Structure formats: C-alpha cells, structure tokens
Structure 1
Amino acid sequence: MNATMRRVVIGTAAVSMALSVAACGKAGDKDNDSSSSGGKSIGLLLPDSVTARYEKFDKPYFEAKVSELCSDCKVEYANAAGDANKQAQQVRTMITKGVKVLVVSAQDSAAIKSSIQAAVKKGIKVVAYDRLAQGPVSAYVSFDNEKVGQLQGQALLDSLGAKATKSSKVVMINGLDADPNAALFKKGAHSALDGKVDIAYEQSGEWSDVTAASKMKTAITQLGAKKIAGVYSANDGMAGGIATTLKGAGISGIPLTGQDAELAGIQRIVAGTQSSTVYKAFKPEADAAAQLAVNLLQGKDIKSLATSEQTSGSGDKVPSQLLTPVSVTKANIKDTVVKDKLYTVAEICAGEYASACKTAGLQ
C-alpha cells in the first residue's frame, strides 16, 4: 500500500471512530442508539409465575410506561419461577447484556445481595420492586406493607364481629420467610389481632397454595374443625389452597383473608369462601417503578418520587416510594377492582359465580 492510500484509509477510520463515539453518547441522551450496547436498556426481573399478578399485570404495565417515558428504551425481561439461583443467573445475564438500570423483585431478598453488588460494580443502578432487596439499591417502590397486614388483620376482626374474643382460635398462615414483605405483613397483622383473638396456630405457607393447604390440614387436626374461628392467609394464592382444605373438612362460614386481589380471590369473596383481600393497584406500582428506572437511566433526580426511606435487611438506607393499599370485601368490589378496570363484572361473574354475583349486587 502506498503512502497516499495509507493516509486515506487512516483518515477514513478516524472519521468512522469519531462518528461511532458521537453516536453512543451517554446514558439518557435522546439520540443514544443502544441496540447493541444496552445504553438505553432496562432490565426487569420478577420472582415467580405462580402469583398471577406478575405476568398478567406488572410486566405489561411496566413495559408500557417505560415505552411512554422513553420511546427508544428497551426492556429486557426474565422471571425467576420461584428459584433464587435462577434469578442470580438472570442478574448475570442482564449484566452481560449491558442494561443500565435493573428493576428486580427479589425471590430471596438476602440471597440476591451479592448479585446486586456485582451489578452495581458494573455501573448498573438497581431499583427494588415490591420487595426490598438487600445490597446497594438506588431506589425502592412498593406499598406500605405493614399497613397491608393491619388491613388484613382488621378485616378478619370485622368479619368475626362479636365472635372476635380472646378465646376465639385463629389460624395464621404467613408468607415466605425469605421475602421481607412477609415479615411486614405478619407484623401488621399481629398489631391488629394480638390481644383480641387467640392465634392458636401459626406457620409459613411459603407463598404456596399446596404448602398452605397442608399447614391448614395440620391446624385442623391439632385444633379441631369446630374450634377454628377464622384464618389469616397472607395472600390469595395460599387462600385458594386453604379454602379447598376448609371445604374438605366441612368447615364453612368462617373468615379467610388474602392479598393481591387475584381474580380467583375476588370470586371466592363473591361466593363467600373468602372474606377479604388487599388490593395493591398494580398499575401505579409498575408506573412508579418505570418512572424511577427511566429517571435513573437519564441521570435525573428521584427525590421528588422517592420521598421516604426504608432500611433493608443489609442495613442500607434506600430512598423509597410507598403506595397505599386498600382492603376489599364483597361490599366494595365495584368501587375498587371493577372501577379500576382490573377485572370486568363479566370476568368475575363467569360460570359458577353468576348466581353469587346477583346476590352480591354485581349483576
């Protein structure tokens, strides 16, 4: 190659490199093209597919809000399917893909700490979603989870009415111990129930309908079917298993709580086999997480969004945005989940629930 040709090639390469650098820009620049670098990529990791809300509501709401706020942002998604080790691998995959912000609902809040540390070391901002993960988290969005437990406990007392006495035996099936929210639900529920009823049997149902059903069966054996006044279930999924066990034991007409306002839970409330649930509006929570993620991606302040502070299990002080939960009973289904278009009356009242819906005034 002669000198003239060599100068042309070198000059062309330099221009090409300059254009490439200019095109990359910094995270959050409007013209940043990150189709291969991950510069405008946000990761979303959800904990399981058993809880209906995550795939049906949280994921699509989050993706839609991110798209609205940042039209050229990309959401990378994975679900841990209830496996903490799988979620750790998913964090590693997100790091490899080059995401700039990672929104994660931890399957195990303590186990994920090292994964979050690894992500942060790579310059990734982490938003804890619904569950406060341990480690150097930049922001946290959830509901006031102690309040959730208080609402559950109070709904149980309200359903018991005059039967709520210090000798009334209540079974308490809590959530997964590895989930920090479960401890808050439990704490809130105890604050409402302690001293007012006798919590005669208390175990973790591990967020599993099968496990909860098994624990309920044990409680019936130990206490006696006729001596159980009510059941606290930390969520609707477990309430489904508990309701089946109660029916099998010939127990009916006693209060059974829940949480998440799952369609099956709402239908059980209509049918009278579950007395209450707690509605944590999924869209506001997903929208809030998306806004936090995009702000962090773009280097914007989040103080106006995360106006409170929570301390994680690792002792980290995390800027937090906490939303307000709502108790749902048969009396306010129309004014909550139907009004917010979470479910239509037709969905709730399908098939075997049609008659009960008419009695409840939904049709």
Structure 2
Amino acid sequence: MDACRGRFEGHVALVVLLLSVSACKRDTVEGTAGPGSPGRRIALLLPESKTARYESHDRPLFERKVKALCPECEVLYANADQDAARQQAQAEAALTNGATVLVLDPVDSASASAIVARAKQSRVPVISYDRLVMNADVDYYISFDNEKVGRLQAQALVDRLRADPRPQGALVVIHGAPTDNNARLFKAGARSVLGASGLRVGAEYDTPDWSPDKAQRQMEQALTAMGKAGIVGVYAANDGTAGGAIAAMKAAGVAPLPPVTGQDAELAAIQRIVAGEQYMTVYKAIRPEAEAAAELAVALARGRPPAPGLVTGKVNNGRKDVDSILLTPVAVTRENVKDTVVADGFWKPEQICAGAYQQACATARLP
C-alpha cells in the first residue's frame, strides 16, 4: 500500500509540475536578436495582435534597428494578446532574464503603472511606446499627437459629408478600448470636431479590446436602431473597428456604403480604401516611431542619454511631465495612397493589388 501511495504521489507531483510549466510558458519572453550579453538586453512588450501593425511592422522594424545600432544587444520580445495580467507576468520575466530597458506598449494604460514600479525597483528605465502609461514614473514616451489623430479622422469625415451630402440621418461613432489612454485622446480629438460640425450622433460606443467582432456587433445594433437609410457616416477609431462596421453594413445590404474612417493604414484597410469601401485611414509612419524607440533603448542600455534633438517635448501622464518624442500623423484617402503608404514603402503595390483588388487598383491608377 505504501509503495502504491508513493507511486501515486509521485505521479501527482509530476502532473502538477507539467501543468505549472504549461501555465507559465505563455508568460516567457522570446530572445530575438542574437546571443546578447549581460547589460545589453532590451525588452519589447507589445499589447495585442488584433491590430496587425504590431507583428507586421513595429516588432520587425524595432528589432532590425536595434541590431543595426547594437550588434551585441538582444531583444526580449513578448506580446500580451490583450491580457493585462499576462503583460505584467511577461515584464516580470523580462526583468528576471536581465532586461536593462523596458519598451512597453501597455494593454491597460492605468494598471501598467505596476510594471513601471516593478522596473524602477530594479533600476530599469521604461520607455512608454505608442500608448502612455498613466500615473507612473515613466522615463520616456514615444508616440503620435493622438488628439490630432482623432481630429484628422473626424474632420475628414465632416469634410466628405459636406462635399457630398447624403440624405438626412446621423453618425455612428465607434471609439476604441476604454482601457487604452490613446483611445481617450482619439475620442477627445474626434468629439472636438464632431461636436462643432452640426452633425447628429445617432449611436456611440466604446469597443473593448479594439475587437473588430465587437465593433461589428455594435454596428448591427446601430443598424437595428437607426435603420439602413438613417446612417450618413461612421467614425471608427481604427481600421479593425472600421472593418467590423463595414462587414455589418455589407451583410445588411447597405449600398452605397457611407464614408467610414479608420487608423493604422492596415493592408486590409488600404485595400478597402482603394476599392471604395472605406473612406480614409490615418497613417502613422511606424518606421520612425519604432526606430526612434530602438535608438533611445540602445542609448539607455549603454547608460547614455538620448541623442540631442531626439526628445521633442513633454506629455503629462498624471504624475509627471514625461520627456516625449511626438510624431505627425497623416490622413490617407484613395487620392493619396500612392503618395503616402506606397511612397514610404509601408505597403508595396503588389501587396495592395493582390487578387480581387487588381481592378480596383487599376481604376485608382495604382501603381
């Protein structure tokens, strides 16, 4: 009996160990830029993968720039998949693995202050990337003028409706995730324009997790409440929510589609713009953002100050005025796709014009 119990307890211990390893596996960080060395490890912690830009642009651009500037540096990478607790565990893993700089794009701009506090305990500087961590001792912030993003989106929508009036109706407004400080800034910028436009808002939503599926359901609710003919335009805070809204309208047989805004210049959004399904997006040139973050991270990893002129201003996060690098966003419509995202090499014509979009590209004279 004792021998059997011993074997049973041994099996239980083994199962517990395996489960523990499996549960912790998702919170590890991935080294991506060579063997590295102690004192030269930079953690890049991104928030989610529903927004295509993070994996397709931010990560590879950041890693390539770090490698070019600092061959001996190692990038410890993790994506939190929109889970704030997971991101905190990933930050802890990065610090345990010797990260000397954290480049943090927070899932939750408020709760991420705990990550900053933990980094400070280890005397590790934190660069708040794209989204600002609130009420925390952040060292630097790199992003765009996010209220201006909201103003650009809303003004483009207002101008389009004034130039091409549609029958009487109202706007549907689909904001971003309430946990994202950037979403708050986009909303403030958009409301400042929409409120002064004289246009009526018939339905307004926040979209948890920036989820396209949730935006699609919100648009379905708006269609039920307002009717297909009652919607003159859609303010969508990014390209994912725009895609969800457009999918709902197409499924409901809305034709022609009203103008829809977006943000991030995702490939699918650029294709929709070329095809006339989405009116505009906001192009935030991710290359200079990611490369500035890499340049700053390498300087900090080497114990040096940022290069002169790199920091361009300050942004208050509720605790301090954070030294900041703020870049300029650009509105993109069908008319200037070629002069913006294509000219910058953000997307190539063969990517945009693949498959079903060949004819639309020919009509839009792209390439």
Q: TM-score range by the shorter chain?
A: 0.7 to 0.9
**Aligned residue for 2:189?**
188
SS in 1 for 2:132: coil
Matched, 1:241 2:252: no
Match of 2:222?
219
Among residues 209, 212, 215, which one is paired with 1:209 in the alignment? Answer: 212
Residues 264 and 283, structure 2, Cα contact 8 Å, conserved in 1: yes
2:316 match: 311
2:207, 2:219 → 1: CA distance?
Answer: 9
Where in structure 2 are the equivalents of 1:1-363 lying within 5 Å?
A: 35=36, 38-134=38-134, 135-162=136-163, 168-196=169-197, 197-206=199-208, 207-251=210-254, 252-302=256-306, 304-312=309-317, 314-363=318-367
Asked if structure 1 preserves the Cα contact closer than 8 Å seen for 2:168 and 2:232, the reply is no
Residues 62 and 293, structure 2, Cα contact 8 Å, conserved in 1: yes
Are the aligned partners of 2:170 and 2:201 in contact in 1 as well (CA < 8 Å)? Answer: yes
Residues 102 and 166 of structure 1: CA distance in aligned 2, closer, same or farther (over 3 Å): farther
**One-letter code aligned to 1:245:** A
- The separation in 2 between residues aligned to 1:39 and 1:344, in whole angstroms, is 38
- How far is the alpha carbon of 1:164 from its aligned partner? 6.0
Distance in 2 (CA, whole Å) between partners of 1:164 and 1:101 is 52
Shift of 1:191: 1.6
User: What TM-score do you get using the length of structure 2 for normalisation?
Assistant: 0.86
For the residue of structure 2 that corresponds to 1:142, the secondary structure is strand
Residue 158 (structure 1) shift: 2.2
In structure 2, the partner of 1:10 is: none
Q: Please state how far the C-alpha of 1:304 moved relative to its aligned partner.
A: 2.7
Asked whether the equivalents of residues 174 and 204 of structure 1 are also in contact (C-alpha less than 8 Å), the reply is: yes
Q: Which moved more, 1:176-185 or 1:287-296?
A: 287-296
Q: Give 1:168 deviation, angstroms.
A: 4.4
For residues 323-359 of structure 1, the C-alpha deviation after alignment (integer angstroms, 9 at most, x for no partner) is 0000000000000111111111111111111111111
* Structure 2 contact 62–291 (Cα < 8 Å) conserved: yes
CA–CA separation in structure 1 for the residues paired with 2:164 and 2:188: 23
What letter is aligned with 2:108? Answer: D
User: For residue 27 of structure 1, what is the aligned residue in structure 2?
Assistant: none
Deviation at 1:217, TM superposition (A): 0.8
- Name 1:4's counterpart in structure 2: none
Structure 1 vs Structure 2: percent identity of aligned residues?
48
Structure with greater Cα Rg: 1
What code does the residue aligned with 1:305 have?
A: L
Q: What are structure 1's unaligned runs of at least 5 residues?
A: 1-33
CA distance in 2, matches of 1:137, 1:232: 32
How far, CA to CA, are the matches of 2:51 and 2:163 in structure 1? Answer: 34
Cα distance in 1 for residues equivalent to 2:141 and 2:165: 37
The answer to whether the Cα contact below 8 Å between 2:137 and 2:319 also exists between their aligned partners in 1 is no
> Could you tell me which amino acid in structure 2 is paired with residue 188 of structure 1?
G
Distance in structure 2 (CA, Å) of the matches to 1:98 and 1:316? 27
Query: Which whole-Å CA distance do the structure 2 matches of 1:300 and 1:360 have between them?
Result: 48
Q: Secondary structure at the match of 2:71?
A: coil
SS in 2 for 1:124: coil
Deviation, structure 1 residue 307: 2.1
Helix, strand or coil: the match of 1:77? Answer: strand
Q: Kindly indicate whether the alpha-carbon contact (under 8 Å) linking 1:167 and 1:198 is maintained by their aligned counterparts in 2.
A: no
Matches of 1:165 and 1:305 in 2, distance apart?
46
Deviates further, 201-210 or 255-264: 201-210
CA distance 1:163–1:223, shift in 2 (3 Å): farther
- CA distance in 1 between partners of 2:259 and 2:207 (Å): 18
Deviation at 1:301, TM superposition (A): 2.3
Structure 1 residue 165: deviation in Å? 9.4
166-175 vs 178-187, which moves further? 166-175
1:256-275, Cα deviation, whole Å (9 max, x unpaired): 00000000000000111100
1:184 and 1:35 map into 2 onto residues whose CA distance is 37
Give the distance between the partners of 1:108 and 1:317, measured in 2 at CA: 20
Q: TM-score scaled by structure 1?
A: 0.87
Q: CA deviation at 1:222?
A: 1.2
Q: CA distance change for structure 1 residues 244 and 165 in 2, over 3 Å: closer, same or farther? A: closer
303-312 vs 179-188, which deviates more? 303-312
Work out the CA distance in 2 between the residues paired with 1:162 and 1:149.
20
CA distance in 2, matches of 1:315, 1:215: 35
